[in-house]
Amino acid sequence: MKRVAGTEGAHLIDEDGARILDAISSWWVITHGHRHPAIMEAIRRASETYDQIIFAEYTHAPAEELAAGLIGITPAGLKHVFYSDSGSTAVEVALKMALGFFHNIGAPRSRVCVLEHGYHGDTIGTMSAGERGVFNAAYEPLLFAVDRLPFPEPGREQQTLDTFAASCASGRVAALLIEPLVLGAGGMKIYPPAVLTELKRIAERHGSLFIADEVMTGWGRTGTRFACEQAGLTPDILCTSKGLTGGALPLAATLCTADIFDAHFSADRRRTFFHSSSYTANPIACAAALANLGIWATEAVGTRIEALAAKQRSRLRRFEGDPRFCNIRQAGTIAALDLAVPVGGYLSEVGPRLRTFFRERKLLIRPLGNVIYLMPPYCVTEADLDRAYDAIDEAASAFAAGRL
Ligand SMILES: *Cc1c(COP(=O)(O)O)cnc(C)c1O
């Protein structure tokens, strides 16, 4: 494995000084670009004043200001913020909030609905909710059962809605946990906002909670700051992590409505939301996230996202009707297409070979099996994107000619 000696903008710089285009934003965390000056400056400044501070009995300005900021920019109605450290913990917290809510109002529910092909993290709870397969087969005996809704394939959306309604009719569904608009790790599977709007309506009708796992989709990836905005909905619980600090430091937040908070807020200690983690609301990470909010408030982030989405669209269009590819798709800044192979799926033989092919061309692109996708930081240049698409074109030709 190559050692990375530094990062800059959309690139990793290896120990030989070569610049590698980070076309997947270092696993989807880097939004504006590596080492954005405002974020690095905020980290430097915060570290002169703070290290970790217990987040019980005491609070601190970065956490308070960030909570207020997050409530201000997420869908209206989300009123409270719970901090943790990763996407997985943000989702675990969300599940516990949902079950705690029903427990505390004296009407226990424990069933969780999820979408087929979903991914929510790698802890036991989030693996339970995610797609089952080779990644979690060894842990299967520990995983809990959930209700799985078929993925809303084009033309079959009604089946997803009907399955959800049937599940909810049992009166046992605590929550629908869902990645809005794009299922990331499940293969960049994209579905329309209208499905989300309809699922929310069904959840409301049955008193089930709606948990949006925006760990990947948040912070502009799908074109809007949060994907839920496109469906015009406020989830009961929203999970954010990856892009929260612009990708510079680990931090996560789970936001919830007043109803969920109120069900846990009581002099009766048995109603407490029992979840604590040592590094909750790390002040330096909160300062980095505040700097990220500042970038969104003062820089032309929306314009950059639109330009990136337009560039992805124009390059994808060139592959339209090309028999070497199928399922060409896009959601905002995310572009994906499947290499036409006899046997697809994540374990498709072609995945590792593609990865090597791209690495040799100084491109960090890690296909999910035969699914090739680009999710670059928003500072990426047109020239860099062209280089990535030219390499995809070249890889597909090599594959078709049996040279890959
Ligand atoms: C990455 C991801 C997670 C898990 O986040 P980690 O920080 O890796 O624990 C959860 N949900 C979604 C949708 C993700 O993409």
Displacement of CA 275 from its chain's centroid (Å): 22
Across the range 289-297, mean pLDDT stands at: 98
pLDDT tens per residue across span 140-173? 999 999 999 999 999 999 999 999 999 999 999 9
Binding site as annotated, residues for substrate: 27, 119, 242, 276, 366
Distance, CA of 71 to CA of 63 (rounded, Å) = 12
Phi, psi angles (nearest 5°) of residue 148: -105, 130
Probe residue for ligand 1, chosen from 115, 241, 373, 375 as the CB with the greatest number of ligand atoms within 8 Å: 241
Give the Cβ contact number of residue 43 at 10 Å.
18
What do you get for the CA distance between the two ends of the chain, in Å? 21
Which of helix, strand or coil describes residue 8? strand
Q: Kindly tell me if the per-residue pLDDT of 344 is higher than 80.
A: no
Which of helix, strand or coil describes residue 242? helix
Q: Which amino acid is at 373?
A: Y
| 136 alpha carbon – ligand 1 mean position (Å) | 15
Displacement of CA 97 from its chain's centroid (Å): 19
Q: Which two tokens stand for residue 47?
A: 């570290």
Output the average pLDDT for the chain: 97
Overall residue count recorded for the chain in this entry: 404
| 201 alpha carbon – ligand 1 mean position (Å) | 26
In short, whether 216's Cβ falls inside 6 Å of ligand 1 is yes
Return the ligand 1 atom nearest residue 126 CA. 10
Higher pLDDT, 402 or 299: 299
pLDDT for position 243: 98
Distance, CA of 399 to CA of 353 (rounded, Å) = 10
pLDDT for position 2: 85
pLDDT tens per residue across span 87-143? 999 999 999 999 999 999 999 999 999 999 999 999 999 999 999 999 999 999 999
Reference 354, options 330, 377, 337; nearest CA is 337
Long-range contacts of 122-131 (CB under 8 A, 24+ apart): 122/88, 123/88, 123/89, 123/92, 125/91, 125/92, 125/95, 126/88, 126/91, 126/92, 129/91, 129/95, 129/177, 130/185, 131/186
In short, whether 91's Cβ falls inside 6 Å of ligand 1 is yes
Phi, psi angles (nearest 5°) of residue 218: -70, 170
Across the range 347-360, mean pLDDT stands at: 91
Q: Which amino acid is at 326?
A: C
pLDDT for position 82: 98
Higher pLDDT, 304 or 342: 304
pTM to 2 decimals? 0.98
In short, whether 218's Cβ falls inside 6 Å of ligand 1 is no
Count how many Cα atoms sit within 13 Å of the Cα of residue 385 in the half-sphere of its side chain.
23
In short, whether 312's Cβ falls inside 6 Å of ligand 1 is no
In short, whether 215's Cβ falls inside 6 Å of ligand 1 is yes
Tell me the pLDDT band of 348, cut-offs 50, 70 and 90: confident
* Ligand 1 atom 8 nearest Cα: 87
Long-range contacts of 229-233 (CB under 8 A, 24+ apart): 229/75, 230/180, 230/181, 230/193, 230/196, 231/180, 231/181, 231/193, 231/194, 231/196, 231/197, 231/200, 232/193, 232/197, 233/75, 233/196, 233/197, 233/200
Contact 10, 376 (CB under 8 A): yes
In short, whether 87's Cβ falls inside 6 Å of ligand 1 is yes
pLDDT for position 143: 98
Which of helix, strand or coil describes residue 160? helix
In short, whether 250's Cβ falls inside 6 Å of ligand 1 is no
Residue boundaries of the structural domains of the chain: 4-32+320-400, 39-298
Return the ligand 1 atom nearest residue 89 CA. 9
Give the Cβ contact number of residue 299 at 10 Å.
14
pLDDT for position 346: 66
Return the ligand 1 atom nearest residue 123 CA. 9
Give the Cβ contact number of residue 107 at 10 Å.
10
| 322 alpha carbon – ligand 1 mean position (Å) | 32
Count helices and strands in the chain by DSSP H and E runs: 12, 16
Q: Kindly tell me if the per-residue pLDDT of 45 is higher than 80.
A: yes
Task: Give the CATH number of domain 39-298; options: 3.40.50.11290, 3.40.50.2300, 3.40.640.10, 3.40.190.10.
Answer: 3.40.640.10
CATH number of 4-32+320-400: 3.90.1150.10
pLDDT tens per residue across span 193-241? 999 999 999 999 999 999 999 999 999 999 999 999 999 999 999 999 9
In short, whether 241's Cβ falls inside 6 Å of ligand 1 is yes
In short, whether 125's Cβ falls inside 6 Å of ligand 1 is no
| 117 alpha carbon – ligand 1 mean position (Å) | 14
Binding site as annotated, residues for pyridoxal 5'-phosphate: 87-88, 213, 277-278
Across the range 180-205, mean pLDDT stands at: 98
In short, whether 375's Cβ falls inside 6 Å of ligand 1 is no
Tell me the pLDDT band of 83, cut-offs 50, 70 and 90: very high
Q: Exposed, middle or buried, 306 (CB in 10 Å: 0-12/13-18/19+)? A: middle
In short, whether 157's Cβ falls inside 6 Å of ligand 1 is no
Give the Cβ contact number of residue 230 at 10 Å.
20
pLDDT for position 1: 84
* Ligand 1 atom 5 nearest Cα: 87
What are residue 175's DSSP bridge partners? 112, 209
Segment among 55-64, 117-126, 345-354 with least mean pLDDT: 345-354
